[in-house]
Amino acid sequence: MNKKLITSINVAVVLALPVFALAFNPGAIPNSVPGLTIGALVDIVFSIVWPVVVAFSIIMFILAGFMFMTAQGDAEKINTARSSVIWGAVGIAVALIAFSIPFIVRNTIGSGI
């Protein structure tokens, strides 16, 4: 019987949370920027993320080159280094496609489809 009471109280609290959340007016959104649009926000995020992706890809290729140099003819180590180069190239291709999608969408919407 005690478990049923606790469960029913939990259900009642969970169902009442939206009512309590809407019970007050929090006021204006703090730190709002009046001229900020979604497109500008996407550009800001990409301008921060893009150098990180480029740095990571350069570091990955340097590590792959180091792995090639230290393989000393071991086929398994060479395959590991080769796969890291392949995955680095795939990562760069995916990053280029991901970063070009907003520009493609913006240009197609801007041309009046």
Quick: pLDDT tens for 5-63: 888 888 888 887 777 776 666 677 677 777 777 777 878 888 888 888 888 888 888 99
For residue 31, tell me if it sits in a domain: no
For residue 46, tell me if it sits in a domain: yes
For residue 3, tell me if it sits in a domain: no
Supply the range of the domain harboring residue 49.
36-110
- pLDDT at position 36 is 77
User: Are the beta carbons of 12 and 68 closer than 8 angstroms?
Assistant: no
> Residue 89 burial by CB count (10 A; 0-12/13-18/19+): exposed, middle or buried?
middle
Calpha distance 46→26 (Å, rounded): 31
For residue 106, tell me if it sits in a domain: yes
For residue 81, tell me if it sits in a domain: yes
For residue 79, tell me if it sits in a domain: yes
* Count: domains in the chain: 1
